[in-house]
Amino acid sequence: MASHAFRPVTHHHTFAAHPPALSVAPGDTIRTHTVDAAGVDADGSRVAARGNPLTGPIRVEGAEPGDHLAVHLNAVTPNRTHGFGRASLAPGVLDPDFLAEVGAEAAHDGAAWQVDAGAGTVTLTHPSSPIEGLVLPLAPMLGCIGVAPAGGQAISTATSGPHGGNMDYRRLGGGVTVYLPVFVPGASLFVGDAHALQGDGEMSGTGVEISADVHLTVDLVEGVPIGWPRGEDDTHRFTLGNARPLDQATQHATTEMVRWLMRDHGWDAATAGLFLSQCVRYELGNMFDPAYTVACKVPHDALARVGA
């Protein structure tokens, strides 16, 4: 259970089986960092092209297709004070008639945010607007986490799939465990695109974009395939479906949760349905990319009550 300090040099823009930048054993811990979505690091230097450049791939020794990774995000911490974003409404989340009406008026220049990790706040410093000076609670997270996909594919960091990717789900911060399918030997794990804060949907196409220190521990679960990313935090287990429309992402996430409940607890499909119909929660991740992200959630508490 080694501890690795990993300083990324190359930043890929696709999730793929690129040559490993670091190799770790299951149980190892890694301290690394991510550059922001525009390729700028903690010092304000542009070190990669824009478009969610990734840190990785991290090769997990012994990982084989049919296994899955358990990635414990111990901490995601912004490592500078300047965050940025778009000041606009994503065309895709507006009624077409309204969009035709407001047109280009729906976009300002970019926004700037002051990030104070000590105070736990982000403060809007630009543009000059009726909400200038808005102070919101810091809630750091990773917009991108994933592995190399199946079939020799290389998938852009501008979208997501069964391999994870740019899911922009605000729960993917410190304290969460993310489970990811393994499609290639070594898994090829990547992280990137940290946000100091982000609303559901990442609906302007950005959160508060920032570089971050990332502390994670990687475990391997052998011989248990999963179909879509899964996770757990203090209160819930969840599954993530990535597709369009949201209905299809919901179908993927729900089916993955049903499979999880059936396998782990020995339930049949109807029992899973009976349980979920009263207990399930849904949340939205990214609604800006070619694929949207839906989380299907179940409270640990309710599972505990049935001895599951």
In the region spanning residues 257 to 296, those forming contacts with a copy of itself, defined by CB under 8 A, are 258-259, 265-284, 287, 290, 292
SS3 call for 234: coil
- Residue 100 interacts with a copy of itself (CB under 8 A): yes or no: yes
How near is the Cβ of 302 to a copy of itself at its closest, in Å?
6
Residue 240 φ/ψ, nearest 5 degrees: -125, 120
Among 207, 212, 218, 229, binds a copy of itself (CB under 8 A): 207
DSSP lists the bridge partners of residue 107 as: 88
Residue 154 φ/ψ, nearest 5 degrees: -130, 115
- Residue 27 interacts with a copy of itself (CB under 8 A): yes or no: no
Q: How far apart are CA 246 and CA 274, in angstroms?
A: 23
How near is the Cβ of 11 to a copy of itself at its closest, in Å?
12
Applying CB under 8 A, which part among 20-28, 63-71, 123-131, 210-218 lies near a copy of itself?
A: 123-131
Applying CB under 8 A, which part among 23-31, 38-46, 201-209, 216-224 lies near a copy of itself?
A: 201-209
- Residue 244 interacts with a copy of itself (CB under 8 A): yes or no: yes
Among 47, 106, 117, 221, binds a copy of itself (CB under 8 A): 106
Q: How far apart are CA 83 and CA 196, in angstroms?
A: 7
How near is the Cβ of 147 to a copy of itself at its closest, in Å?
15
Of 144, 139, 242, whose CA–CA distance to 191 is shortest? 144
Half-sphere exposure of residue 208, counting CA atoms within 13 Å on the CB side?
31
**Closer residue to a copy of itself (CB): 32 or 52:** 52
- Residue 129 interacts with a copy of itself (CB under 8 A): yes or no: yes
- Residue 107 interacts with a copy of itself (CB under 8 A): yes or no: yes
* Residue 133 amino acid letter: G
Q: How many residues bind a copy of itself (CB under 8 A)?
A: 97
Asked whether the bond before 19 is cis by omega within 30 degrees of 0, the reply is no
**Closer residue to a copy of itself (CB): 133 or 223:** 133
Q: How far apart are CA 288 and CA 167, in angstroms?
A: 10
**Closer residue to a copy of itself (CB): 73 or 257:** 257
**Closer residue to a copy of itself (CB): 220 or 298:** 298
- Residue 2 interacts with a copy of itself (CB under 8 A): yes or no: no
Q: Are 54 and 157 in contact (CB under 8 A)?
A: yes
- Angle (CA) 77 80 86, round 5°: 95
- Residue 19 interacts with a copy of itself (CB under 8 A): yes or no: no
How near is the Cβ of 55 to a copy of itself at its closest, in Å?
17
**Closer residue to a copy of itself (CB): 79 or 254:** 254
Among 197, 212, 218, 240, binds a copy of itself (CB under 8 A): 197
Residue written as token pair 């810091």: 138
SS (H, E, C) 170-204: CCCCCCEEEEEECCCCCCCEEEEEEECCCCHHHCC
Strands 121-126, 135-137: pairing kind: antiparallel
Among 208, 210, 218, 226, binds a copy of itself (CB under 8 A): 208
> Of residues 141-170, which lie at the interface with a copy of itself (CB under 8 A)?
151-156, 158
